[in-house]
Amino acid sequence: MPKVIGLTGGIATGKSTVSELLTAYGFKVVDADIAAREAVKKGSAGLEQIRQTFGNEAINDDGEMNRQYMGQLVFNHPDKRTELNEIVHPIVHQLMDKEKSRYLNQGYNVVMDIPLLFENELEDTVDEVWLVYTSESIQIERLMERNNISLEEAKARVYSQISIDKKSRMADYVIDNLGDKLELKQNLQQLLEKQGYISSINE
């Protein structure tokens, strides 16, 4: 019986790398970020709802969503963030469920790659939750380097989510990413062997 795994983490914990590795191991990954972009793409019903709710300023001249305008709007007005989520979230769930069902019907184990899985209380929509873990100090360091932002900005982004330590206590399995990419791959491999998804190298 194929399984549905919820993959989550915090900002800059290495979740994307784990997603790529799981794809290489034959899992099918359904990505929440891709579904979110699809939900508001040019010409979509979702984008039209956004225009009707937030006005023409929400759409660029080229017909795409004005991400800068919307980003500032929801950042400064939490009630607007709620309104936006009420439009986007149901469409994202619909798109992800459709993709998940297709893969399950084909007999694949499915990984639901959901950055804000705990924040949006989606743990009951998957069979088990796998969390990619690193320390907050490493998160901040990686984020500063990756996005070329200040220490204050990096801290603000990291602290806007449930802490990685709290998430690690809520998850079924924790994939350690305190070291380099090779160590991460080995840690993931150990979990996959332990859970019977792949055969042990030593067998």
pLDDT (tens digit, 9 = 90+) per residue, 23-39? 999 999 999 999 999 99
pLDDT at 171: 98
Q: Is 63 domain-assigned? A: yes
Q: Is 157 helix (H, G, I), strand (E, B) or coil?
A: helix
Q: Rounded to 10 degrees, what is the CA torsion of 46, 47, 49, 51?
A: 170
Q: Is 202 domain-assigned? A: no
Domain coverage including residue 117: 1-27+110-197
Q: Is 134 domain-assigned? A: yes
Residues 53 and 120 in one domain: no
- What pTM was estimated for this model as a whole? 0.89
pLDDT (tens digit, 9 = 90+) per residue, 97-154? 999 999 999 999 999 999 999 999 999 999 999 999 999 999 999 999 999 999 999 9
pLDDT (tens digit, 9 = 90+) per residue, 65-84? 999 999 889 878 889 999 99
Share the mean pLDDT of the chain. 94
Residues 75 and 91 in one domain: yes
Q: Is 135 in contact with 165 (CB distance < 8 Å)?
A: no
pLDDT at 76: 83
Q: Is 74 domain-assigned? A: yes
Last residue of a domain, one of 63, 84, 108: 108
Last residue of a domain, one of 108, 128, 144: 108
pLDDT (tens digit, 9 = 90+) per residue, 151-200? 999 998 899 899 999 999 999 999 999 999 999 999 999 999 999 998 86
Residues 179 and 87 in one domain: no
* Six-digit token string for 68: 């800068």
pLDDT at 202: 54
pLDDT at 160: 86
Residues 120 and 96 in one domain: no
Last residue of a domain, one of 108, 135, 167: 108
User: What b/e string do you get for 63-96 counting C-beta neighbours within 10 Å, with b at 16 or more?
Assistant: eebbeeebeebbeeeeebeebbeebbeebbbebb
pLDDT at 13: 95
Q: How many distinct structural domains can be found in the chain?
A: 2
pLDDT at 72: 87
List the CATH number of the domain containing 5.
3.40.50.300
